[in-house]
Amino acid sequence: MEPACSGTPIITIRGLNKTFGAGDTAVTALQGIDLTIFEGEVFGIIGLSGAGKSTLVRCMNHLEKPTEGSVTIAGKALEALPGKELLLARRGMGMIFQQFNLLMQRTALQNICFPLEISGVSRAEAKKRARELLQIVDLADKEKAYPAQLSGGQKQRVAIARALAANPKVLLCDEATSALDPTTTRAILDLLREINQRLGITIVVITHEMSVIEEICSRVAIIDNSRIAEIGSVRDIFLKPRTDIAKKLLYASGRLGESLMGQRCLRIVFDGTKTTSPVISNMVLECGAPVNILFADTKTIDGKMVGYTLVQLPDSDQIIEKMKKYLTLHEITYQEEAYHV
């Protein structure tokens, strides 16, 4: 179930299923997808490899036709549109990819001009628009450079400019930073945030990295086994994940080790509203028993520093209850869970 969210929907997906093949060899890539994305937001879709996230983004613009269900973009049901109208609707959705997909025999300027030229825009107008976009992506001095002369980050900036050429309402980013180093990834995410704020374009980010979601998105849908497992604000899912797949993505997939399977753990949440006193140290001193810190993470989300610490609890039920009472008394949010991700 989706959380309540104010705003005007720009993407509405209902009952979407996608199956490849037929009969005994059929493979279900997506099942029962319901999703609403609002104008002007940066929305994340995350999942492990093979979960169905890239298929979902291709169904959004009908590059893959859903087997069942509806996709409505800016009030238009794509499945009801004839061929030419569907092509026009797709122009309202720019798309960028992991591997950039630039034309190697064209300069940066010519790559950005290409979608405008095939849509009938004059060469002079196309060049004018392309130069405006090169300014936006901070590559005004690279208009004559060929892709082979550009770094990975510069190639992605050209790809972003090309995706913006037709003034889309939505920008779909399919693993757009996966081929980039961490510093370049941060620069590209900063650029996408600036584009969202400056141009008001809705951005949908498809990724397998929670760090990307936490950096730029306001809401996120987590896909697992072809279904949406969890959806909500990035802050809520970071602080209070409900599903095993959300915890697995947050705990960096296996960093904790198989030896902890089934161990009772406490997830102590710091949401930026309480004192910065040493909560865990004081709890250990008060309760007279040590805890094993398994994992800790902090992020700045919505301008506030938030974080959590995952601790392995002692074997004594009496001490565990004492620790929980201590946290409750000091108004510290926590969740007890067995580690099995």
β-partners of residue 204 are 43, 172
Whether the CA torsion 284, 285, 290, 293 is positive or negative: it is positive
Distance CA 134, CA 43 (A): 25
Distance CA 22, CA 252 (A): 36
pLDDT in tens, 22-41: 888 889 999 999 999 999 99
Q: What is the pLDDT of residue 257?
A: 46
Domains and CATH numbers, the chain: 1-92+179-248 (3.40.50.300), 101-167 (no CATH), 263-338 (3.30.70.260)
**Structure tokens given for 212:** 């990307």
Q: What is the pLDDT of residue 315?
A: 85
CA angle 94, 100, 104 (to 5 degrees): 115
DSSP reduced 3-state for 202 = strand
Mean pLDDT of 43-56: 91
Q: What is the pLDDT of residue 141?
A: 94
CA angle 51, 57, 60 (to 5 degrees): 135
Local structure of residue 149 (DSSP, 8 states): G
pLDDT above 90: residue 55: yes
Question: Left if phi > 0, otherwise alpha if psi is -120 to 50, otherwise beta: which for 123?
Answer: alpha
pLDDT band at 83 (very low <50, low <70, confident <90, very high): confident
Of the given ranges (80-94, 172-186, 272-286), which has the lowest mean pLDDT?
Answer: 272-286
Q: Looking at per-residue confidence, does 320 or 305 come out higher?
A: 320
pLDDT above 70: residue 295: yes
- The alpha carbons of the chain give a radius of gyration, in whole angstroms, of 23
pTM, rounded to two decimals: 0.84
Task: Give how far the C-alpha of residue 30 lies from the chain's centroid of Cα atoms, to the nearest Å.
Answer: 17
Q: What is the pLDDT of residue 252?
A: 58
pLDDT band at 129 (very low <50, low <70, confident <90, very high): very high
Beta-strand pair 27-38/292-301: unpaired
pLDDT in tens, 241-275: 888 888 888 875 444 544 454 578 888 888 766 65
Residue 272 CB partners (closer than 8 Å, separation 6+): 304, 305, 306
Distance CA 38, CA 41 (A): 6
Task: Give how far the C-alpha of residue 66 lies from the chain's centroid of Cα atoms, to the nearest Å.
Answer: 22
Q: In the chain, what is the straight-line distance between the N-terminal and C-terminal CA atoms, in Å?
A: 23
